[in-house]
Amino acid sequence: MATMDAISVIRTKRDRGELSDQQIDWVIDAYTRGEVADEQMSSLAMAILLNGMNRREIARWTAAMIASGERMDFSSLSRPTADKHSTGGVGDKITLPLAPLVAACGAAVPQLSGRGLGHTGGTLDKLESIPGWRALLSNEEMLNVLDTTGAVICAAGDGLAPADKKLYALRDVTGTVEAIPLIASSIMSKKIAEGTGSLVLDVKVGTGAFMKTIEDARELASTMVGLGTDHGVKTVALLTDMSTPLGLTAGNALEVRESVEVLAGGGPADVVELTIALAREMLDAAGVRAADPAKALADGSAMDVWRRMIAAQGGDPDAVLPVAKEQHVIKAPSSGVLTRLDAYGIGVAAWRLGAGRARKEDPVQAGAGIELHAKPGDTVTAGQPLLTLHTDTPERFEYALQAVEGSYDIGAAGTEFTASPVVLERIA
């Protein structure tokens, strides 16, 4: 590997060649160490975006990123582990009720989550709206919370796939985020290094997702399922709809409040349906088939795990959640049937209100976001509240309203509407 150089590796992929195992191992290691410059790696990332990778290349690229850091070990736990990863959406608070639900049914859930960027929300930002809750845990703290409560939701440590952390930041500023081989290897390197025994992927498709078409979502899901399988992790994927926001809220504290409603046996039907569907997949993948997640939601056992999990990470499950200082209500301009509520437009508006960030270092407002008072298929009356915008900084309203404009349609009374199913496909 001493004879390797970045220019040769770039040329290979630029000219639609296959990268050898040795080239991949060298370039990932050299980039992590700083021997390969950012401009060279960005050139290679663009060549990968344009010319793709085959399954062997993607598997080796993923293995090299795993090898750049540590691997966690949950073999000391008394129960099997199962994790979930979502590719991100609007109103996607599913991790919050899902992790304690699966734990209440007998599996352990080591959920390493991220922060929001752009129009998609981040699980850690949502949970940090709970007073006292900590996202940053040492490996020992993570294992202890997992052992005592059955579930932990926290940030990935710096030692986990550091090559991915460096490469992700570069992709974000070089227009190469959408490269499916790099998306798949980024997600799977962290999940495999995390050490979970099984993994369920929630691959979003629609206007509010990174994958806009079912074909792209299917390709990404199949690639990640293959990577998990190649690395000995039982992996399945669900393709789920993200053309309309999930639930009735988009924003940090707003989504925590809605998640608690689900854990209390209520909440919006689409959130409950997807939570239970993913729970069943996780339990099946982990080999835990005796428990019924629907029953665990109804009888309060999932709520009990939630309360213990939040408290174990310093949070107060009884604390009053933050509320934004200012609200603005958008009213239905006409009567009829709401036929469209675009997830992307709502996500961008929530982001502009302060619920999200444009750069990783930007702060977020805990109370900012949007409440939905109707979903597609609902009958609305002229003048009734359609959306409520929340922010601490009212000067943001005008910018957010620009994103909402054109993001919903109201048809005439009696208009027929057929909702898209929540789960579109299963890939195993």
Q: What is the pLDDT of residue 245?
A: 97
State the Rg of the chain over Cα.
22
Do residues 299 and 383 both lie within one domain? no
Task: Give tens-digit pLDDT for 238-291.
Answer: 999 999 999 999 999 999 999 999 999 999 999 999 999 999 999 999 999 889
Q: Are 225 and 188 in contact (CB under 8 A)?
A: no
Q: What is the pLDDT of residue 2?
A: 54
Residue 85 annotated in active site: yes
Query: What total number of domains does the chain contain?
Result: 3
Give the SS3 label for residue 13: helix
Could you list the residue range(s) of the whole structural domain that residue 20 is in?
A: 6-52
- Tell me, yes or no, whether 424 lies in a domain: no
Q: Are 68 and 32 in contact (CB under 8 A)?
A: yes
385: CATH = 3.90.1170.30
Q: Are 113 and 122 in contact (CB under 8 A)?
A: yes
Do residues 241 and 362 both lie within one domain? no
**Cβ neighbours of residue 414 closer than 8 Å, sequence gap 6 or more:** 337
The two structure tokens encoding residue 65: 């990123």
Q: Are 181 and 48 in contact (CB under 8 A)?
A: yes
Q: Which of 191, 208, 184, 192 is nearest to 427 (CA)?
A: 184
Residue 171 annotated in active site: yes
Which residues in 358-370 are b (16+ Cβ under 10 Å) and which e?
A: eeeeeebbbbbbb
- Tell me, yes or no, whether 59 lies in a domain: no
Q: What is the pLDDT of residue 1?
A: 46
Q: Which of 60, 84, 115, 190 is catalytic?
A: 190
Q: Are 224 and 202 in contact (CB under 8 A)?
A: no
The two structure tokens encoding residue 102: 């699966």
Which residues in 134-146 are b (16+ Cβ under 10 Å) and which e?
A: ebebeeeebbebb
In this structure, which amino acid lies at residue 97? P
Do residues 261 and 127 both lie within one domain? yes
249: CATH = 3.40.1030.10
Provide the pairing of β-strand 83-86 with 198-205: parallel
Q: Which of 13, 60, 85, 204 is catalytic?
A: 85
Do residues 96 and 230 both lie within one domain? yes
31: CATH = 1.20.970.10
Give the SS3 label for residue 353: helix
Do residues 117 and 88 both lie within one domain? yes
In this structure, which amino acid lies at residue 71? R
Residue 334 annotated in active site: no
Residue 396 annotated in active site: no
Cα separation, 339 vs 417, whole angstroms: 7
- Tell me, yes or no, whether 73 lies in a domain: no
Residue 190 annotated in active site: yes
pTM value? Answer: 0.93
**DSSP output for 211-280:** B-SHHHHHHHHHHHHHHHHHTT-EEEEEEEE-SS-STTEEEHHHHHHHHHHHHTT-S-HHHHHHHHHHHH
Q: Are 317 and 311 in contact (CB under 8 A)?
A: yes
- Tell me, yes or no, whether 163 lies in a domain: yes
Q: Which of 186, 189, 243, 301 is catalytic?
A: 186
Mean pLDDT by 10 residues, the chain (428 residues): 84 98 97 96 97 95 96 93 95 97 98 83 94 95 96 91 90 86 94 94 96 96 95 96 98 98 97 98 95 95 98 98 98 97 97 86 92 97 98 98 97 92 97
